[in-house]
Structure 1
Amino acid sequence: MAEPSIQRKSRRTQAGSRRRAPDRRDATRERLLTAAIDVFGRYGFDATTTRALAEAAGVNLQAIPYHFGGKEGLYIAAADHLAQIISSHVSGRREQIRARIEQADGGLEVAEARQLLVQMMRTMLGLFVSRQSEPWARFILREQMEPTEAFERIYGRVMKPTLEVIGRLVAIILGEEVGSEHVRLRTVTLLGSLVVFRMANAAVLAQLGWESIGPRELDRIHAVVDELVSALGQPGGRA
């Protein structure tokens, strides 16, 4: 009677091992992706070695070809991973706003458009000033200077849909056609006013005499964001 019991236990143990194995593989893959965003962002694609990536992730060197086929595959996967992370922070608010615009079917009031724009900009600002976005910014900045397929992945999955929603709000506020050159210019200018707090963080802190951006400083920035949106389309506030 004992033998069947042992066999059943063995089968359960084997099944449990099979269930746990993907978790270990996923953890290795996750460590590599996180390390890749940081290391590629610091040193660039050409200067980064697979050994440096493996050491930064704390994994075996063979894990890179096993999971990603090589350094290039890991680089592209890191871009996809980064796009997914950023999207998880902003897509909820973005799609909520998109749904409201579509629900209004062209009848969204300017005052509400301003409120929604402030909400979207504050959501993005919270991400830009967070410490976790530092390695993301380095990776993206390199792709801005010398775009590769990785830029297309990040732009297509995060930047483009976000700019589209902001642009629709800007068009409503300005009373102009969605997609017009002027609306697109105003949209990227608004985004630039937020990006500066990450891409030029050191200059911002030096100029303002801040040691860091904490709750107090973030409140000050929120107030300026509100001013920017309030001035949009107003006499004297329009480019």
Structure 2
Amino acid sequence: MSDVKRLRRPPEGGYARGDETRHRIIHAAIELFGERGFAAASTRDIAARAGVNAPALQYYFENKEGVYRACAEHIVETVWERFEPVVQQATDVLAGSAGPAALIDAFVSIHEAMASKIFYGPHVPGLRLFMVREQAGQEPPIASQVLQEKLRMPLNRVCASLVARIGGTAFDDPVTQIRTLSLMGQLTIFHHAPRAMLAALGWPEMDEEKLEFVKTVVRAQTRALLEMWNAEREARQASQASDAAAA
């Protein structure tokens, strides 16, 4: 697959108009890739939905692979704006000598940001389907590579570091990784399977009051698990200290 060009801008004062056109193409492409999949979404259809001609799409992205990569990069940039402050806060906490309470608070803050993104973030038409297709492994690996390198890995790294410190396990211990994934995964059903979730709860729809109720329950559950794992760590340390003293 040939390398794709990054942002191309028209010269002499065309920056704002060029960015606006580029964003229109990306939003249209996310919709069509989500609705039809990569193979069935043609560049001609993407250009038509964006209200531009086909040469304009080629000018900014060169080819369909370039558009697809730009979609993934746009998603990363949009999501990371929400996560960057809490990730930086957690990084600062990890760099110091913070106790369990501060570590737990840092993890819960990231979890809250994730819940806000899922429940209240801007809902781009087709985005959920775009992500479902990408996760199913049916699309080219371009998007997965971008999302993994620039979003999922940094987010998982800081979350797993918090879980490891709280629970007294190694970062690369499978227990740490499974705990982290399970905590983060609590919210995914509300994003990827809303119909099944509503049916299970017997709710006709998800209004703001119900969203806040879900967030409250998940937040309490997350905090309870983290506090339990910390208590287990403290119990192990106390036992080891007792054994050492007895020896």
TM-score by length of 1: 0.83
1: CA distance, partners of 2:85 / 2:48: 35
2: CA distance, partners of 1:139 / 1:124: 18
Deviation, structure 1 residue 133? 5.5
2:93 counterpart (95, 100, 110) = 100
Deviation, structure 1 residue 64? 1.2
- Does the 8 Å contact 2:112/2:219 carry over to 1? no
Which amino acid letter does the alignment assign opposite residue 127 of structure 2? W
2:37 counterpart (41, 44, 47) = 44
SS of structure 2 residue aligned to 1:178: coil
| Total equivalences in the alignment | 217
Which amino acid letter does the alignment assign opposite residue 109 of structure 2? Q
- Does the 8 Å contact 1:170/1:186 carry over to 2? yes
**Structure 2 unmatched ranges of 5 or more:** 1-10, 233-247
SS of structure 1 residue aligned to 2:54: coil
| Structure whose alpha-carbon radius of gyration is higher | 1
2: CA distance, partners of 1:113 / 1:198: 26
Which range is displaced more, 178-187 or 209-218? 209-218
1:164 counterpart (157, 160, 164) = 157
2: CA distance, partners of 1:118 / 1:46: 39
Is 1:154 aligned to 2:147, yes or no? Answer: yes
> What is the aligned partner in structure 1 of residue 116 from structure 2?
126
Deviation, structure 1 residue 215? 2.7
Is 1:141 aligned to 2:135, yes or no? Answer: no
1: CA distance, partners of 2:54 / 2:161: 47
2: CA distance, partners of 1:229 / 1:150: 30
Map Cα deviations across residues 18-61 of structure 1 (whole Å, 9 max, x no partner): 32x22111111010011111211111110111121012211112
Which range is displaced more, 24-33 or 136-145? 136-145
What pairs up with 1:37-76 in 2 under 5 angstroms? 37-76=30-69
1:227 counterpart (220, 223, 233) = 220
TM-score by length of 2: 0.81
**Structure 1 unmatched ranges of 5 or more:** 1-16
SS of structure 1 residue aligned to 2:172: coil
2: CA distance, partners of 1:64 / 1:22: 16
SS of structure 2 residue aligned to 1:232: helix
Deviation, structure 1 residue 199? 0.7
Deviation, structure 1 residue 113? 1.6
SS of structure 2 residue aligned to 1:218: helix
- Does the 8 Å contact 1:127/1:133 carry over to 2? no
> What is the aligned partner in structure 2 of residue 30 from structure 1?
23
Identity of matched residues, %: 30
1: CA distance, partners of 2:204 / 2:94: 39
Is 1:202 aligned to 2:200, yes or no? Answer: no
2: CA distance, partners of 1:134 / 1:31: 13
SS of structure 2 residue aligned to 1:129: helix
